[in-house]
Amino acid sequence: LGQPTTDFPPEPITNFSWRNFFSSINYLHIMHKICKNKAHRNLLLMNYKSDKLLKKSLEIPQPDLRRYTLKLIKDQTPFCGRKWRQNNMSAITAVYLTIKPELRDDWLAGSDVETDIAEALPLEQALRALTHWHNVRRYPEMMGVEQGILNVEQDFFAKELEKMDLADPGGMEEEGSNDQAWEPPLN
């Protein structure tokens, strides 16, 4: 559960780099924010075998470092196999003892993992595309976009309607409309 396997030193260790601790805690905190509720990102972490590195940081008896490490392990656990869960019961127990559970927290059961995995890649690609579109629209010179390309691609929905043959070729006017203002009927 992250407790040291050797005896404690007779006096507290005061010779350590607080900057390394601070940067490690912030790194884990940001990583948790990036990967929370994102199945594709957690799957990528599993592919890179991050659980081995995270378990090493559990050996350090620092509460904030342990908390964010356990949160990352908790996010990855639904995508791990039964064998991994059997071998890492100490980490799973530490998650239960340390992290406050949510109301419908089924992270260990992994009830809907298959659908999450199937939907993960298209959602991640859509998020990347929207982020790229926002950056191109907001910072065109930094993104290396040609002048005038934004005016051409400005009306995305009109292009999509044209592809589906639902767009009105004459514009958005209705039949029988005229330029006069609408007048209420006379009594």
> Mean per-residue pLDDT for 136-156?
72
35 class by beta-carbon count within 10 Å (0-12 exposed, 13-18 middle, 19+ buried): buried
pLDDT in tens, 35-75: 988 888 888 888 888 888 888 888 887 888 899 999 999 88
Q: Per this entry, what is the length of the chain?
A: 187
CA distances from 46 to 43, 85, 165 (A): 5, 13, 44
pLDDT in tens, 79-117: 888 898 888 888 888 888 888 887 777 776 666 777 777
Is pLDDT larger for residue 27 or for residue 52? 27
Whole-model pTM: value is 0.65
Q: Give, for 183, the enclosing helix (H) or strand (E).
A: none
pLDDT higher than threshold 70 for residue 23: yes
